[in-house]
Amino acid sequence: MVKEAANNTGPLSTPESASVSDTLGVAASLRLHWPEYLMEAGEMTLFMFCTCSFATLLQHPASPVRHFFVSGTVRRALMGLGVGATVIALIMSPWGRRSGGHINPAMTFAFYRLGKIAPWDALFYGMAQFSGATSGVALATFLLRGAPGNGAVRYAVTAPGVYGAAVAFAAELAISFILMITVLLVTNHDRLVRYTPYFVGSLYAVNITFETPLSGMSMNPARTFGPAAYGGYWHTLWIYFIAPTVGMLAAAAVFRRARHAAPPYCAKLHHANNKRCIFRHDP
């Protein structure tokens, strides 16, 4: 059933075989798959725009919401609900259903290591995600007239908490592992596959509420890069590049071992739809 759902791509959007994907060079990948790259960039732009907007609404000193909700835990919970709902909406949107809704280069790389994404597609997805994250921060800053740059908001930057870089690294690795293993288990389960967006959105909400004091809650190199590029917060960027990537690669390795080296069916987070799929599928 999961395999059928993963390959349910409609009459005009037959999944490309692994052999075809392997033969595509850089020019052919761009010519054939550029819509998916742009969609992934657009999704990441919207994700970071919403993230910066929520952070401004909840943290900016001039915001009435900040004064109404005095508790930091309550504000983090509201932030989690907003970001979690955004993630669900993006995965289930027409763009997310076609591109796969990764909005995360670490997740894309993990799927590449699992053999589900061709090399050029993985590279261009990563480029799209990083550029989209930067564009989203810039858009929020422009439309909100510089408010995300306030010292209380700092462009929704992710930075280690009071326990330091080591704890932040361990926390990022752990939550990234949990996110990826959840995606792999749920998307390859007949009864749960349709609920994948809700599992992912719920993890974002819970982690933002409770894990943010440890690492700022990223799980995503591009999500951290956008605010860092716009605000110049570079000193701990390595944590958010290495820890999420290692955590998700570890989850992929555990998944393959548990399934006796059998790969997942697809790299999409929303399988059962009639959108084109450029990812590799089992025969």
- 3-state SS of the chain? CHHHHHCCCCCCCCCCCHHHHHHCCHHHHHHHHHHHHHHHHHHHHHHHHHHHHHHHHHHCCCCHHHHHCCCHHHHHHHHHHHHHHHHHHHHHCHHHHHHCCCCCHHHHHHHHHCCCCCHHHHHHHHHHHHHHHHHHHHHHHHHCCCHHHCCCCHHHCCCCCCCCHHHHHHHHHHHHHHHHHHHHHHHCCCCCHHHHHHHHHHHHHHHHHHCHHHHCCCCCHHHHHHHHHHHCCCCCHHHHHHHHHHHHHHHHHHHHHHCCCCCCCCCCCCCCCCCCCCCCCCC
* Mean pLDDT to the nearest integer, 151-167: 96
- Average pLDDT along the chain: 92
pLDDT at 239: 98
What pLDDT sits at residue 47? 98
Q: Give pLDDT tens digits for 199-226.
A: 999 999 999 999 999 999 999 999 999 9
* pLDDT for 273: 87
Please compute the mean of the pLDDT values over residues 31-55 and round it to a whole number. Answer: 98
Residue 21 pLDDT: 55
Whether residue 19 is predicted with pLDDT greater than 50 in this model: the reply is no
Q: What pLDDT, in 10s, does the model give residues 231-276?
A: 888 999 999 999 999 999 999 999 999 998 888 999 999 988 899 9
pLDDT at 15: 57
pLDDT above 90: percentage of residues in the chain: 86
Q: What is the mean pLDDT of residues 88-110?
A: 98
pLDDT at 28 over 80: yes
What is the Cα–Cα distance from 18 to 266, expressed in whole angstroms? 12
Predicted local distance difference test score (pLDDT) of residue 280: 83
User: How far apart, in whole angstroms, are the C-alpha atoms of residue 111 and residue 254?
Assistant: 13
Cα separation values, 257 from 38, 111, 149, 226, 262, Å: 34, 15, 45, 34, 8
pLDDT of residue 261: 86
Please report the pLDDT score of residue 162 as a whole number.
93
pLDDT value for 281: 73
Give the whole-angstrom CA distance, residue 244 versus residue 241. 6
Mean pLDDT, rounded, for 86-96: 98
Residue of 282 and 2 predicted with greater confidence:
282
pLDDT at 5: 42
Res 216: pLDDT:
97
Q: Can you give the pLDDT at residue 1?
A: 42
Q: How confident is the model at residue 16 (pLDDT cuts 50, 70, 90)?
A: low
Tell me which amino acid residue 19 is: S
pTM, two decimals, is 0.92
